[in-house]
Each structure stands twice: as C-alpha cells, then as structure tokens.
Homo-oligomer: A and B are copies of this chain.
Amino acid sequence: MTPIHCVNEFIAAIEQRDVDHAISFLHDEISYENMPMSPIVGRQAVADVLNGFLAPAREVQWVVSRQWAVDDVVINERLDRFKLGSGWLELPVAGFFHVVDDRITVWRDYFDLSSYMNQFNALTND
C-alpha cells in the first residue's frame, strides 16, 4: 500500500462513517492535530473524536480537490461536507498525513473553527 492509497482508504472509511475501519489505518500512537486545538494522541482518542463529529451527520463527503504525495507525506486540499439538520455543513481544510508502514502516524488539519461552529449551530438550530 502506498501512502496515498492509505490516506484514500482512510477518507473512504470516514465517508462511510465506519470509524472502526478508519482507525485501522492509524498508528497506535497517532498524533491528530487540529491546528486551532490541542493534539489528540492515540488511536482510541482519535476514534472518540471521529465518532463525535461523524455521529450527528446523516451523510459525509470529504471532497479532495487536490492531493500530493512526497515520500511518506500526503497533502490534500479538501472540502469536508457533513449533512446535518436542514442542509450541508461545508468546511475547507488543508490536511497533512505522515504515513509509516501503511499507518498514519501524524495527521494535521488546518481550518477555520468558527466556519465549522457557525454552520453547525445554524443547521442544527432550525
């Protein structure tokens, strides 16, 4: 499995909201770094976070507009979409994935937290 294949399979599992399958692509000691927030370390802690934001969504699409692989790093620009309440929440994200031995060891996402929160509140308060 190449690093880009690993990341693609991980994202496919996210879109299926299959957290158990998604975390099979993560290293035990993964560091998941949402840049506005503190890092989340360890596969089970990441599973808890993924469950938290996938559970309310009736459908999930992570649309990758551009993706690069350089050595063991995969970089993508995405529009993460979550079907919630009355519509779709859409969040532009830049993702950086370090892949070692077919497992993601570091995952850093850059995005605007208020864009997420404002849409979440608007869609779920209708």
Which residues 30-61 of A have a CB within 8 angstroms of B? 35-36
Chain B residue, CB-CB nearest to A92? B35
Per-position binary interface string of chain A over residues 108-126, scored 1 when its CB falls under 8 Å from any chain B CB and 0 otherwise: 1011111100000000000
How many identical subunits does the complex contain? 2
Does B96 contact A110, Cβ atoms closer than 8 Å? no
8 Å CB contact of A113 from B68, B70, B112:
B112
Please report the total number of A residues contacting B with Cβ < 8 Å: 19
A sample of 22 cross-chain residue pairs with beta-carbon separation below 8 angstroms, ordered by A number, consists of: A35-B92, A35-B112, A36-B112, A36-B115, A66-B96, A68-B68, A68-B70, A68-B73, A68-B75, A75-B75, A77-B96, A77-B108, A77-B110, A93-B110, A94-B94, A94-B96, A110-B110, A110-B111, A111-B112, A112-B112, A112-B114, A114-B114
